[in-house]
Amino acid sequence: MKRVIISAFVIGILLNGLLSGQENKNPTKTAVVVPPEIISPVVAYQPDCPLRIEDIKLLQFVKGGGGSQSLKLRNAGMKAIKSYTIGTWNSVGTGWDVEQPVVNNLLPGETAIPPGSEVEVVPLTKELRDQLGLNGEMQAIVVFVVIRVEFADGSFYDGERLYKALKAHLNKMSL
């Protein structure tokens, strides 16, 4: 039962962040940063990947449940990026992936903040920590993976093998 609750919590944070990023309906939600000792966001090692995921924070909405994520993307490659697909999978055995076009090509060396960052982050007080249940043992590790990058010239980077292997391993570990 605890695994189901933790899984729902993690899915709620990530999926709600994904949906709010695409719809942009409520740009002024208030959230706190989930302490990494409760749910730890990590980036998979992909040394040949041209898109770097940086500054990840998982966010929990103060009201209404669910949450979001905050991250920055950097084009560490030599070509302009047209679109990307990022996936997450967690130690509870759930996750998602999303393809996101870049409004204007992301040029080499540039950084971008994906949609969904219109969240007001407030300090995590003891009262909010208790109210949101952000106490106790670590509940999950969330791994971020770049699945695919499409360049402006039509070529692409493919990280799908890593993503599939990660999902299979974490699903097996969660049983």
Provide the pLDDT for residue 53. 96
Residue keyed to tokens 């994906």: 114
Residue 12: band (very low, low, confident or very high) from pLDDT cuts 50, 70, 90: low
Summary mean pLDDT of the chain: 85
What pTM does this model have?
0.82
Q: Lowest-confidence range among 13-17, 28-32, 66-70, 142-146? A: 13-17
Residue 26 has pLDDT above 60, yes or no: no
Sort strands 140-151 and 39-43 into parallel, antiparallel or unpaired.
parallel
Provide the pLDDT for residue 17. 44
CA 152 → CA 30, 56, 63, 115, distances in Å?
36, 26, 40, 20
Residue 89 has pLDDT above 50, yes or no: yes
How confident is the model over 60-78, as a mean pLDDT?
Answer: 91
Residue 7 has pLDDT above 60, yes or no: no
Q: Which helix (H) or strand (E) covers residue 4, if one does? A: helix 2-23
Residue 141 CB contacts under 8 Å (≥ 6 apart), including other chains = 39, 40, 42, 90, 91
Residue 56 has pLDDT above 90, yes or no: yes
Provide the pLDDT for residue 145. 97
Residue 4 has pLDDT above 70, yes or no: no
Provide the pLDDT for residue 117. 62
Residue 15: band (very low, low, confident or very high) from pLDDT cuts 50, 70, 90: very low
